[in-house]
Chains A and B, each alone.
Chain A
Amino acid sequence: MHKENKGPVLSGVVGFFDDPESLIEATAKVRDSEYKDFDCFTPYAVHGLEHAQGLPRSKVPYVTGALAFTGTATAFAWQYAASKTWWPHIIGGKPFNSLPAFVPIMFELSVLFGGIATFLAMLAFNRLPNLSKRSFDPSITNSRFAIMIESPPVSDDDEAPAEFSAEKAEAFLKSLGAKDTRKVFEEGWF
């Protein structure tokens, strides 16, 4: 069962919505408000939400592209070196550097490098595996949608104390149509 979320450090305030439509509308309003640190939580990828949230495009494709090209180059260099320099053999009267015959492995290695890089980049950008932030409600992976306004990190120097009123944020989310709101405290998985 989901145990009650308690702790000394407030990580933010969350407001729940029952449908993606209200979520997108409310998200756009949060984006334009004073709260800059916020995130949405949904059971599936809601299209259009990234625009409402004002998120920039993902940079994953650049990583894929770079590593896929590395794969192509690696495969060519490797096959060329092995077939021409390290172990030159005449097979079927073909030249040592048989470029057309190297193409299939060049393609496969591009896909292999690109695919693994995509996966690792996705994890890295998302900071997964995530051990430090527990899911705050089991309904998020089931049927409900939420916006979380994050409290600014507690800063050590007293000169710029972060002013964050959980009550104010809760009231704001309520005014956007949140069905219920709640404080969330920092809590890890284990």
Chain B
Amino acid sequence: MATADSSNELVKPVNDVLVTGGRTFAEVNEDVSRPLETFPTGKWWVCFIAALGAFFIGAVMLLITMRDGIGVWGLNQPVGWGNDVTTFVFWVGIGHAGTLISAILFLFRQKWRTGINRSAEAMTIFAVMTAGMTILTHTGRSWLACFWLLPYPNQRQLWPNFRSPLEWDVFAVSTYFTISLIFWYTGLIPDLASVRDRAKNKIRKVALTILSLGWRGSNKHWLHYEQAYLIFAGLSTPLVLSVHSVVSFDFAVSQLPGWHTTIFPPYFVAGAIFSGFAMVVTLLVLAREAFNLKHYITMDHLEKMNKIIMTTGMLVGYAYGVEFFIAWYSGSPFEQFTFINRAFGPYWWAYWIMVSCNVFIPQLFWFKKFRRSIPVMFVVSLYVNIGMYFERFVIIVTSLHRDFLPSSWAMYVPSWVEWGMFFGWMGFFFIFFLLFVRFLPSIAMGEVKSVMDQPRKGGAHA
């Protein structure tokens, strides 16, 4: 690699920063396409069969729920929302990191996003699909759900209540899924063309030609493409903030102490990004190892994500503190009771698991050594995932289980059917993610190339 001449100082070395190992454009295609063109490894099969197994258990539990109704769950008065809504909020939240990476970091010109955006967006889509499944199941007779949820013209002129946050949620989540899918697919078009042009098998080539829409890299196409991509980023940014805000309205708009708080929208969005980044780290630590993508998903990428995890973790911790302060400051004995009960009542263990996993453990990332250690970040990311599940559990269940009338107080324990479904949805998500890394380019090749060391006139590299 020759040094750049002085006239080109401005476009100088991004090499070995965002993509390491001095890769060339052709090697990018080679590295990214390899997992797609070889038979999956034993490790992949083990993961895939485990995911299928988990989903199978969940499917059986789902059938039991459909046969007998949601009475087989542990829900009853006064706890009417439990594991079902907890998993819904958990999975919607997971999705937010993908959109943050693909849209918000794009608007802020954070070039490091190119290495991780494709897989993060895929994670978003699969997480929102999982969330959709959990919430449809939660309606009980889910095969009728579309009649209840969607406004459609009908002979009796019945319409849903548009003043309800639950109805806003239908629109928020379905819009989020649609836009994320379009955004992701648009990003995939040039990469599918790259894989198509390498394809040797005839059927594969035809399939990829159709999927890539016959893309051939024309700059007249790139012009509209780039413009559309920028607009998607611009649309997705307020969208992603709105989605978890609307999810938080499901709680905040009610009158229940513990839910009825104005801090919920930013608190939920911060929590969503926090949990989503943890999931991205969990998945990418494994994927870069399994598919040898260490030149693209570098330690620097992981370190940056760990910084975001720590920052958003502290935002969430701040929200926990403010909730307590406001409960005291409100002067309402019901608010005060709810929060003291949350930390020291029967569900104290859930509360302290949440605080430990979300606030204390991520503090490890103050140290560079830990931010750049694969085992440490992997374990921390798992703890954050656990902590964020418990956060939603704590918000939902502890606010409900102590009703206004002490005679109706009760405890909620998820039934075995609910646990089975919890793992089932986990399997559902991983089935899709594993198929994604197997069949689609998991690094945005076209975008990575634009931030790499560019070949120079006369064959020199910067």
Contacts and interface: CB of A to CB of B under 8 A. Distances in A.
Partners in one complex: yes
Interface of A: 1-2, 18-22, 39-47, 49-50, 53, 55, 57-58, 60-61, 64, 68, 78-79, 82-83, 86-87, 89, 91-92, 94, 98, 101-102, 104-105, 107-109, 111-112, 114-116, 118-119, 121-123, 125-126, 128-131, 133-136, 138, 140-143, 189-190
Contact of A83 (B163, B220, B446): B163
Contact of A122 (B151, B157, B225, B455): B225
A41 B213 CA distance: 16
Contacts of A20: 454-455
Interface residues of B, number: 67
B138 to A, nearest CB: 21
A41 B217 CA distance: 5
8 contacts: A39-B220, A58-B227, A108-B172, A126-B220, A135-B214, A140-B197, A140-B216, A189-B214
Nearest to B33: A142
Interface of B: 24-26, 29, 151, 157-163, 165, 167-168, 171-172, 175, 178-179, 182-183, 186, 190, 193-194, 196-198, 200, 206, 209-210, 213-228, 231-232, 235, 238-239, 242, 246, 249, 445-447, 449-450, 454-457, 459
B217 A43 contact: yes
Nearest to A21: B457
Nearest to B159: A82
A82 B164 CA distance: 14
A121 B190 contact: no
B221 to A, nearest CB: 4
Q: Specify the main secondary structure of chain B where it touches its partner.
A: helix
Contacts of B450: 44-47
A122 B221 CA distance: 8
A142 B194 contact: yes
B223 A91 contact: no
A126 B138 CA distance: 43
B159 A86 contact: yes
B219 A55 contact: yes
A104 B172 contact: yes
A126 B226 CA distance: 12
Contacts of A46: 219, 222, 450
Which 8 pairs from chain A and chain B are nearest by CB?
A130-B214, A143-B25, A138-B197, A58-B227, A122-B228, A82-B159, A40-B219, A19-B455
Nearest to B157: A86
B214 A141 contact: no
A91 B172 CA distance: 22
A122 B232 CA distance: 11
B198 A45 contact: no
A140 B216 CA distance: 7
Contact of A118 (B171, B214, B235, B459): B235
A131 B239 contact: no
Contacts of A21: 454, 456-457
B171 to A, nearest CB: 4
Given A19-B456, A60-B227, A119-B228, A133 B200 contact: no
Contacts of A126: 218, 220-221, 224-225
Contacts of A121: 224, 228
Contacts of B456: 19, 21
Contacts of A115: 175, 178-179, 182-183, 232, 235
A50 B223 contact: yes
A58 B172 CA distance: 29
A135 B193 contact: yes
A36 to B, nearest CB: 13
A2 B221 contact: no
A44 B449 contact: yes
A111 B175 contact: yes
Contacts of A189: 209, 214
Contacts of A44: 190, 445-447, 449-450
A143 B25 CA distance: 5
Contacts of A39: 218-220
